[in-house]
Amino acid sequence: MATKRVAICAVAQHKNDSDLWHKRFQGMLLDVLEELQAQTGFTFDEETGVNTIVSCSDDFFDARTISNNGVTDVLGAQYRGEEKMAQEGLNAVGYAQAVILSGYADMVLVMGHCKESQSESRRMIANMGFDPFYGRAVGLDNLNAAALQARAYMKKAGLTEEHLAGIVVRARQFAARNPYANAREIVEAGKVVASPQLCDPIRQLHAYPVSDGAVGMLLASEERAAEFTDKPVWIAGFANCMDSYFLGDRDLTANFALKQAAGRAYRKAGIADPRKEIDLVEVMDAYAYQQPLWLEGLGLCGDGEGARFLDQGGQEKYSVNLSGGMLAGNPVIIAGLYRAAEAALQLKGEAGERQVPDLHRAVAHSTTGAAGQFHSVLILER
Amino acid sequence: MTEYFGTTVADIFATMPKRFKPEEAKEVDIAIGYEATGEGGGKWKATIKHGTLKVETVEGELTGCKTTIHTDAETFVGVTLGKISALDALSSQKLRVAGDPKFLMLLLPKIFTPYAAPAKKPDAVTARDIIATLAERFRPEKAEGVAMTIGYDLAGEGGGKWTIVIRDGKCAVREGLADPLTVKMTMEAKTYAGMMVGTIEAVTAFTSGQVKIEGDMAAAAATAKYFRKYVVPGATEAEELISLRVTNSIEQRFATGPVMGRWFAGIREKKFLANRCPKCGRTQIPPREICAWCRVRVHEFVEVGPKGVVTHFDIVYFASPDPLTGAVRDTPYATVYVVLDGATEREAITVDLKKEDIPRLKEGARVRPVWAAVTTGSYRDLIGVELDEEEGSL
């Protein structure tokens, strides 16, 4: 008998760090797993425990073909079903939800990890995501694809250096209150504006720092959630959308895929007007300019109105990225899982110094592929 | 019937009625005689009158023809297929026309659709057919500065001995084997044909011993690029597709962590440190954070070995190359499954066996570690194992 609703019962995060050279990613995952077990008391019992694990990792970052094979022991997956979501972490939550809604399992463990510091350069790994015929050869990677998008979007939305600096300054203020964030030092706007150009118009402090991390979540059916938590967070809607692979095919400022994903997720959640029905948003802002761009895509402000949204206090109105966002540092593959983790903690009322009151509904957003080729949107409710 | 360029003179005439375009020949009134000399040749007469065609073979003299074509059978097929230029054949006198050649060259393409050699099944193609096409498939631009002689000794039906001479941007094919040769390849004619038409994989044929290569192996491997790919007559000619060769390399720094790290710290001291599950007691090699069977953290380390017993082994004859350098390990080499003394039965270590010991390797053999001269805490510290015959266990 399939359930009607799926709950995120618990979340556990490994602290993000720029260089966890002393720790295997297996060890990071084990810490996360043990914390989840401590929170919920779940077991791996064949009858009543976890028998399905959805993992998230990347072969290139792990430098291992079928990267999940090397971590199954610390996921508790040995002798159980385990499947990998290679694309990005938030999608793993969507996948786990589908597994439970289908009736295949009534509880699913979601476990994601990534160590950006393991390879010589995360940009080389991103470069491998491009076609080997042309894109790689011209040195495309996530950064310079984003910079193309940044310039186009800044022009369209009237976004200035001051806006970008303001986004970074605010992100650090919240990151300082998030014990799991990587870059937690407070910065002044002047320092952001003076930081070196990585890829004009993207400066060093506009870009998320190299990060290692791991995130785990326990999802359960409506019937079983109460066994593991008295504060379940419900998945009200999940959707995703893929845009075209070749950069040149896309209008970089149009948010085509994100609008599709958001529209589908809102419909599933019964949301008619996101501006009136969303209380909190976590967007995957790998670069400062992306925060207002993705907020446009989510329909929280109009097309090309990102700068005005910032000027009019939109970030506080919608409690945007109280975790510090990706700007404070999450590994790219699982930045979406960190977004969902923060949204869930906020709805549970467990967000510590970042907690805002009276939350009912939150959005977690994630993206992968150069300049936002693919987007996922998850709507959570209390 | 003797074949040229994958077909016969007789087939060209047999297909004439099918290729005839009566509507184009309404005004035509002509009888054409054909004399093709040599193997597979003969005499034919084609009479075209007011949109009708009659083709007949002729014994004796060709009579009543307004125009007659004289040539050898091979040139006739070659010109018909467009493999030989008609003008070249005319100027070299290999093809002679009694009558008006220009008139014929304009008329024939108008009233006949072009002849195409019948499609052949790949297995009907012989090595001889393929060798005959080598010179026309030669790519001088790929063989700049190359000087080599390649010998083919192809046994069985459709086979023979040939020498391919590549020099000064030219390629010549000669019957017989020259001496010296840069490289000589010996195989069954049907193996060669199979490799050329793609029904036999070259690497497999070589590694399984079906192809014997004497001389310069690298030269043998390079020959393919000097020729366009062989296409079975009548088969749709495959478009030559471009592929890219790229070596991808991103340096990695793998953490060993506090648990697996103990193993490497151990082998630096020439000790094997396993960690023992507090619940089931198994000794994990290499040590891991948890015992996956019991789902408990594992903290206790125990020294095992240094000697052990071989439980299984394999012997590698066909090594996979290093993905970055392409270097291939010296073969044969043995990979052995060793249960170290004091380790639990199912926790084996897989290591190399010293090469000289391979002939005497048996399941149950006792082995001892072979350490690097200087140990640094790397996986290279343990070179492998060697048979420990002092104990007399063999």
B253 part of contact set with chain A, CB < 8 Å: yes
Question: Interface pTM (ipTM) of the complex?
Answer: 0.86
Residue B6 and residue B233 in contact, taking contact as beta carbons nearer than 8 Å: yes
Of A14-28, A312-326, B69-83, minimum mean pLDDT range = B69-83
pLDDT at position B393 over 70: no
- Mean pLDDT in chain B? 89
* Mutation choice for B interface testing from A23, A73, A80 by most B CBs within 10 A: A73
Instruction: With respect to residue A290, please indicate whether it lies within any of the assigned structural domains.
Output: no
Q: How far is CA A154 from the centre of its chain?
A: 23
Phi, psi (rounded to 5 degrees) for A201: -95, 15
What CATH number did the domain enclosing A63 receive? Answer: 3.40.47.10
A107 vs A7, A93, A377, B66, CA distance in Å?
A: 9, 12, 21, 92
Instruction: With respect to residue A214, please indicate whether it lies within any of the assigned structural domains.
Output: yes
B358 part of contact set with chain A, CB < 8 Å: no
A99 vs A93, A262, A264, CA distance in Å?
A: 10, 21, 19
CA dist., res. B388 & res. B308, Å (int): 9
Q: Smallest Cα–Cα separation from B173: which of B190, B197, B145, B149?
A: B149
> pLDDT exceeding 90 applies to what percent of chain A?
95
Task: Check B253 against A124: CB less than 8 A apart.
Answer: no
Task: Check B253 against A21: CB less than 8 A apart.
Answer: yes
The reported pTM is 0.75
Domains and CATH numbers, chain B: 9-111 (3.30.1050.10), 122-226 (3.30.1050.10), 257-391 (2.40.50.840)
pLDDT at position A64 over 60: yes
In degrees, rounded to 5, the angle at the alpha carbon of residue B24 between the alpha carbons of residues B20 and B30 is 75
Task: Check A78 against B293: CB less than 8 A apart.
Answer: yes
Q: How far is CA B376 from the centre of its chain?
A: 44
Instruction: With respect to residue A272, please indicate whether it lies within any of the assigned structural domains.
Output: no
* Mutation choice for B interface testing from A20, A26, A124 by most B CBs within 10 A: A26
* Per-residue model confidence as pLDDT tens digits over B112-129: 988 888 877 767 788 998
Name, in order, each residue with C-beta under 8 angstroms of A158's C-beta and a sequence gap of 6 or more.
A304, A307, A308
Who among B255, B258, B295 is closest to A76 (CB)? B295
- Mean pLDDT in chain A? 96
> Which chain A positions have a beta carbon within 8 Å of B252's beta carbon?
63, 118-120
pLDDT at position B236 over 70: no
**Mean local confidence (pLDDT), B87-102:** 86
pLDDT at position A68 over 60: yes
* Per-residue model confidence as pLDDT tens digits over B289-333: 999 999 999 999 999 999 999 999 999 988 887 777 777 788 899
Q: Smallest Cα–Cα separation from A205: which of A154, A167, A149?
A: A167
Name, in order, each residue with C-beta under 8 angstroms of A53's C-beta and a sequence gap of 6 or more.
A75, A76, A77, A80, A81, A82, A83, A108, A109, A110, A111
B346 part of contact set with chain A, CB < 8 Å: no
- What integer pLDDT is reported at residue A31 of this predicted model? 97
**What letter does residue A326 receive in the DSSP assignment?**
G
* Per-residue model confidence as pLDDT tens digits over A85-118: 998 999 999 999 999 999 999 999 999 999 999 9
Q: With bands split at pLDDT 50, 70 and 90, how would you rate the model's confidence at A275?
A: very high
Task: Check A118 against B254: CB less than 8 A apart.
Answer: yes
B375 part of contact set with chain A, CB < 8 Å: no
| Interchain CB contacts (distance < 8 Å): A and B | 66
Instruction: With respect to residue A275, please indicate whether it lies within any of the assigned structural domains.
Output: no
B145 part of contact set with chain A, CB < 8 Å: no
pLDDT at position A129 over 60: yes
CA dist., res. A280 & res. A277, Å (int): 10
The distance of A380 to chain B (nearest Cα, Å) reads 32
B258 part of contact set with chain A, CB < 8 Å: yes
* Per-residue model confidence as pLDDT tens digits over B9-59: 998 999 999 999 988 888 888 999 999 999 889 999 999 988 899 999 998
**Mean local confidence (pLDDT), A136-140:** 91
Number of domains observed in the structure of chain A:
1
* Mutation choice for B interface testing from A17, A24, A59, A212 by most B CBs within 10 A: A24
Domain of residue A88 covers: 6-120+210-227
Q: Can you read off the two tokens belonging to residue A313?
A: 């206090």
* Per-residue model confidence as pLDDT tens digits over A154-206: 999 999 999 999 999 999 999 999 999 999 999 999 999 999 999 999 999 99
Taken in order B272, B278, B281, B285, the sign of the CA dihedral is negative
* Mutation choice for A interface testing from B289, B298, B299, B324 by most A CBs within 10 A: B289
Q: With bands split at pLDDT 50, 70 and 90, how would you rate the model's confidence at B219?
A: confident
Residue length of chain B = 394
The distance of B276 to chain A (nearest Cα, Å) reads 16
Q: With bands split at pLDDT 50, 70 and 90, how would you rate the model's confidence at B238?
A: low
pLDDT at position B237 over 70: no
Name, in order, each residue with C-beta under 8 angstroms of B46's C-beta and a sequence gap of 6 or more.
B13, B16, B31, B32, B34, B53, B54, B55
DSSP, collapsed to helix, strand or coil, labels residue A114 as strand
In degrees, rounded to 5, the angle at the alpha carbon of residue A300 between the alpha carbons of residues A346 and A110 is 40
- What integer pLDDT is reported at residue B391 of this predicted model? 58
- What integer pLDDT is reported at residue A367 of this predicted model? 98
Q: Of the ranges A127-131, A361-365, B7-11, which is most confident?
A: A361-365
- What integer pLDDT is reported at residue B392 of this predicted model? 52
* Helix segments in A63-182, DSSP class H: 89-101, 122-127, 142-157, 161-175
Who among B244, B250, B257 is closest to A133 (CB)? B244
Task: Check A24 against B246: CB less than 8 A apart.
Answer: no
Q: With bands split at pLDDT 50, 70 and 90, how would you rate the model's confidence at B154?
A: very high
What residues in chain A have their Cβ under 8 A from chain B's Cβ atoms?
20-27, 30, 44, 60, 63, 72-74, 76, 78, 115, 117-121, 124-125, 128, 132-133, 136
- What integer pLDDT is reported at residue B394 of this predicted model? 46
- What integer pLDDT is reported at residue B27 of this predicted model? 87
Name, in order, each residue with C-beta under 8 angstroms of A98's C-beta and a sequence gap of 6 or more.
none
**Mean local confidence (pLDDT), A4-33:** 96
* Per-residue model confidence as pLDDT tens digits over A230-252: 999 999 999 999 999 999 999 99
Task: Check B251 against A60: CB less than 8 A apart.
Answer: no
Task: Check B289 against A30: CB less than 8 A apart.
Answer: yes
